[in-house]
Amino acid sequence: MTKKLFIVLSLVLTFTLSIQSCKTDDITASASITGLNCTEATFSATATSGTSYTATATVPYTGGNGAAYEAGSPIASTGVTGLTATLSAGQLTSGAGNATFVITGTPASAGTATFAIDLGGQSCTLSLPVVASKASVSTLTLSSVVPTAGTSGTAYSGVATLAYTGGNGGTYEVSTASSTGVEGLTATIDAGTLASGSGTLTYKIAGTPTSAGTATFNISFGGQTCTITITIAAGSTGSATPAVDTVVIAFSGTTASVSNPYQSAGVTVTTSGADVTVKSTNTTKEIVYLLSGTASKGSLKLYSDYKYNITLKGLSLTNTTGPAINIQSGKKGTINVVAGTTNTLVDGTTYTTSSEDQKGTLFSEGQLSFMGTGTLNVTGNSKHGIASDDFITVTETTIIVKSAATDGIHANDYFQMDNGVVSVTSSGDGIEAEEGYILISGGTINVSSVDDGITASYDGTDASITPYVLIKGGKITVNTSGEKGNAIKSESYTTIGTSDAVSLTVSGKGAKGIKTGGDFTLTSGTVKITTTGAAYYNSTDADIAAPAGINCDKNLAIKGGDLTVVSSGQGGKGITVDGTATVNGGTTSITASGTTYTYTSANTSEAKGFKCDGAFVMNSGTLNISASDDGLKSNTSITINDGTVNVTKSYEGMESIFITIAGGVCNLTASNDGINTSYGTVSGGTESNDNSHLKVTGGVLIVTGSDAIDSNGNFTISGGYVITYGNEDIDINGNFLVNGGTLMGAEPASNMTKAMSTSSTQVGMFIKSSATVATSSLFHIEDATGKDIVTFKPKGSSAYFHVSTPSMTKGAQYKIYFGGAYTGGSYVGGSSGWGLYTGGTYSTSGATLKSTTTTSTSSTVNTITF
């Protein structure tokens, strides 16, 4: 009986344990599905290339076992990069259901972003279509409408307004960005259409911040980026600690404390005193490293296999033996300088020897992108202030490089600035892009350097590199002091088109305000260039290095803006161009007041206003020149189609082989030739025709000089006005043809002056008087009916005159007066104090009738003597 009872009890116990075992398995069972269907996935929003994206992907599954599952790790996209997909925590249904993945980031291009996802033992490839953006803008900045502060644990609602320029009128879809630093918030813009030009974008910000700190949104839109930050205070229900994506490093004297939530996720942080080394192998998350506190002998060295964010919040860090921050990562680094904080980085005067690069106080092997509206002070005692072996961008930060032993800011690739303030004092270059370009779209730049101020310096042979300088906006002030220390220098083209002021001052020998190896273009802006350095003989180049406001190795185009060049150094130039020069607008004022620099009698540098080796063409605008030597000179040709040229002081006002005045107003003053055409092949010139040519087909040409007009070749007038005064008003070696237009020239008696060529088609007079017309008097010709032909007030006492107008005819009677009075009217071309009157009334009262003459019935040229 006892044995039977024992058997029964054993069976009951075995059954009970079996039942209990089954219940335990149900409780602890892992999530399991039989199928995961990526092809049927749906997305909550459309992804657009180059635009911030936050959305959910809903992925169907089958055969769920009802178990719960935790949130997954971020999965980076392939194909189209820049996105991550993260499984949200949940519980499977028993059977068919849906899992949710949160996708965030900025698609790098149009195409398909793919994610290798898995759940419950099944996997598939999730494909997100990314459409090409139809919207593009030139600049994107945070406007005066900024979001208000928030409180952790409390629902938040606010707006931020972003201003843009250069909108293309394209449409855009709904776009959402998630916050970092403080999580839990999203910034969303509704679908819309850009303006063509300038406009604003409104982002609605909502959510509940999970912690105190700074919530940051890295907005991408239309090919540009901008940062929105919101200060989140600690609330009664929220945490006052940084968000879970932040590694906190706090410096204090000779030590540093670290809070590292990623210790088990690939991030190792070690300390030695106040020297902190971070090594991150995490490739799924842009980890934030929050730096604060003070250390007089400390540093941060960072190794990272993925892009990262260094947030500076009241940091003062000095490393006496190397860089303050040394980033040994080739990935992109975002440097967030928190609003309202001042941060300081200082390096040592000498660096401890290392096999790794350490090129400046803040150095990175990869890209550096500065954001945040705080202030970063940098002192470079040994090398550069800030240096990157990739590119550097600044979106809104105030960066002050107080001093740098070499360059203030040095990028191996390009430097780009959209807003903020950059102030540099350096013993080398101010801002240098060694193998790339410089693009400035906004903000304020102040540079005081010994060498070049802003330079794209690449001089290698890689055709894929275009080392240009493009200024689309921003207020720029540059002062350089070293020999050949140019304010702006590029080895390719330089373009300025900004509504802000650009002020460039160079004082070194041979220094240029703008030195460009390619084309120079000015489209808008107020640009003032001052050079005070002298020319000198450079034995290395075996040539004279002369200072200049602008030195352009290829072609120059002025399309607008207000350009002022003042060059006062010995041998200094205003503008020099190796190629062609075109003026299509704006106001350009040049003063070149220096004396001639002489190295040898055959090797000199003169203070010229505007000199180009190629053709000079002016279609509109204003050009004002005052020069110790030539005002405007081209070694090829000068063509004035319209606009105004004022040369108020010069040795020769305008000089070239071929000069054509087709329109506009040219008012030239010179101590030698006012306007001169010559091949210049014979020193001192000859009296033979060298076939150079001055043509006036329209416009107004007003000239005064020792020789007002001197052509070693030919001179043809077919339209417009020519008004001259000189010791010789017109000195021509070749043909002097008057076929149209109005000519009024005057001079004291001279035997070299000649009458017009007899082949001229328009009637004219060459008048030689034994008496002179005083400077205060008038020269007047009228026809037999008393109609005013010309009334002229000479610049100086005059006895010889060249006169021709379309109203003169053959076989007609004309009266020539000295003296009289003229009331009303003005001078043709707006000349001052002398010239050809128009629009008023002449009176013979007090005048002397010098001659009544009848023009030839056969010849167009009439030589008249009295």
From residue 133, how far is each of 108, 109, 128 by CA, in Å? 11, 9, 15
Tell me the three state secondary structure of residue 110: coil
State pLDDT tens for residues 311-343.
Answer: 999 999 999 999 999 999 999 999 999 988 999
Instruction: Please tell me the predicted confidence (pLDDT) of residue 8.
Output: 39
Tell me the three state secondary structure of residue 252: strand
Indicate if the pLDDT at residue 1 is higher than 70.
no
- High-pLDDT (> 90) share of the chain, %: 79
Indicate if the pLDDT at residue 11 is higher than 70.
no
Query: Quick one: average pLDDT of 707-723?
Result: 97
Question: CB of 842 within 8 A of CB of 791?
Answer: yes
CA distance 338 to 182: 13
Query: Quick one: average pLDDT of 395-403?
Result: 95
- Tally Cβ neighbours within 10 Å of residue 237: 10
Indicate if the pLDDT at residue 4 is higher than 60.
no
Both tokens assigned to 159: 């707006």
Indicate if the pLDDT at residue 10 is higher than 60.
no
CA distance 727 to 670: 12
pLDDT band at 859 (very low <50, low <70, confident <90, very high): very high
The DSSP H or E segment spanning 841 is strand 835-843
Instruction: Please tell me the predicted confidence (pLDDT) of residue 28.
Output: 42
- Bridge partners (DSSP) listed for residue 411: 388, 433
CA distance 504 to 515: 12
Number of separate helices (H) and strands (E) present in the chain: 1, 82
CA distance 620 to 378: 46
Both tokens assigned to 151: 């409180």
Lowest mean pLDDT among 216-225, 344-353, 642-651: 216-225
User: DSSP assignment of 639-675, as one string?
Assistant: EE-SSEEEEEE-SSSEEESEEEE-SSEEEEE-SSEEE
Query: Quick one: average pLDDT of 192-209?
Result: 92
Query: Quick one: average pLDDT of 677-688?
Result: 68
CA distance 471 to 417: 10
Instruction: Please tell me the predicted confidence (pLDDT) of residue 426.
Output: 98
Instruction: Please tell me the predicted confidence (pLDDT) of residue 141.
Output: 87
Cβ partners under 8 Å of residue 400, min gap 6: 375, 376, 377, 378, 421, 423
Tell me the three state secondary structure of residue 766: strand
The DSSP bridge pattern shows strands 556-558 and 581-592 to be: parallel
Indicate if the pLDDT at residue 486 is higher than 90.
yes
Q: Write the single-letter amino acid at 265.
A: A
From residue 664, how far is each of 315, 591, 640, 699 by CA, in Å? 61, 22, 7, 5
Instruction: Please tell me the predicted confidence (pLDDT) of residue 357.
Output: 86
Q: What are phi and psi of 707, to 5 degrees?
A: -110, 115
Instruction: Please tell me the predicted confidence (pLDDT) of residue 97.
Output: 94
Query: Quick one: average pLDDT of 665-690?
Result: 83
CA distance 279 to 313: 21
Question: CB of 52 within 8 A of CB of 175?
Answer: yes
State pLDDT tens for residues 78-134.
Answer: 999 888 999 988 899 999 999 999 998 889 899 999 999 999 999 999 999 999 999
- Bridge partners (DSSP) listed for residue 2: none
In degrees, rounded to 5, the angle at the alpha carbon of residue 258 between the alpha carbons of residues 253 and 260 is 170
State pLDDT tens for residues 609-638.
Answer: 999 999 999 999 999 999 999 999 999 999
Instruction: Please tell me the predicted confidence (pLDDT) of residue 223.
Output: 86
- Bridge partners (DSSP) listed for residue 116: 125
Instruction: Please tell me the predicted confidence (pLDDT) of residue 12.
Output: 38
Question: CB of 356 within 8 A of CB of 364?
Answer: no
- High-pLDDT (> 70) share of the chain, %: 94
Instruction: Please tell me the predicted confidence (pLDDT) of residue 82.
Output: 86
Indicate if the pLDDT at residue 259 is higher than 70.
yes
b/e map of 793-813 (b: 16 or more CB within 10 Å)? bbbbbbbbbbbbbeebeeeee
Tell me the three state secondary structure of residue 830: helix
CA distance 552 to 764: 44
Choose among 592, 596, 613, 618: nearest CA to 605. 596
Instruction: Please tell me the predicted confidence (pLDDT) of residue 682.
Output: 52
Find the length of the chain.
866
Instruction: Please tell me the predicted confidence (pLDDT) of residue 612.
Output: 97
Indicate if the pLDDT at residue 25 is higher than 50.
no
State pLDDT tens for residues 274-295.
Answer: 999 999 999 988 899 999 999 9
CA distance 742 to 633: 25
Instruction: Please tell me the predicted confidence (pLDDT) of residue 26.
Output: 36
Instruction: Please tell me the predicted confidence (pLDDT) of residue 2.
Output: 45
Indicate if the pLDDT at residue 5 is higher than 70.
no
CA distance 287 to 307: 8
Query: Quick one: average pLDDT of 487-500?
Result: 96
Query: Quick one: average pLDDT of 362-377?
Result: 95
Q: Write the single-letter amino acid at 243.
A: A
Indicate if the pLDDT at residue 444 is higher than 90.
yes
How high does pLDDT run on average in the chain?
91
Indicate if the pLDDT at residue 519 is higher than 90.
yes
Instruction: Please tell me the predicted confidence (pLDDT) of residue 592.
Output: 97
The DSSP bridge pattern shows strands 597-600 and 603-605 to be: antiparallel
State pLDDT tens for residues 746-798.
Answer: 999 876 688 999 999 999 999 999 999 999 999 999 999 999 999 999 999 99
Indicate if the pLDDT at residue 683 is higher than 70.
no
Choose among 422, 370, 416, 432: nearest CA to 401. 422
Considering Cα of 61, then 64, then 68, then 73, what sign does the dihedral take?
negative
The set of long-range contacts for 198-202, using a CB threshold of 8 Å and a minimum separation of 24, is 198/163, 198/164, 198/165, 198/166, 198/167, 199/163, 199/164, 199/167, 200/143, 200/161, 200/162, 200/163, 200/164, 201/140, 201/161, 201/162, 201/163, 201/164, 202/145, 202/159, 202/160, 202/161, 202/162
State pLDDT tens for residues 787-844.
Answer: 999 999 999 999 999 999 999 999 999 999 999 999 999 999 999 999 999 999 999 9
User: DSSP assignment of 508-541, as one string?
Assistant: STT-EEEEESS-EEEEEEEEEEEE-PPPEEETTT
CA distance 768 to 771: 9
State pLDDT tens for residues 164-178.
Answer: 999 999 999 989 888
State pLDDT tens for residues 532-579.
Answer: 999 999 888 888 999 999 999 999 999 999 999 999 999 999 999 999
pLDDT band at 19 (very low <50, low <70, confident <90, very high): very low
Choose among 539, 616, 542, 548: nearest CA to 582. 616
Category of 538 on φ-ψ map: left (φ > 0), alpha (ψ -120 to 50) or beta: beta
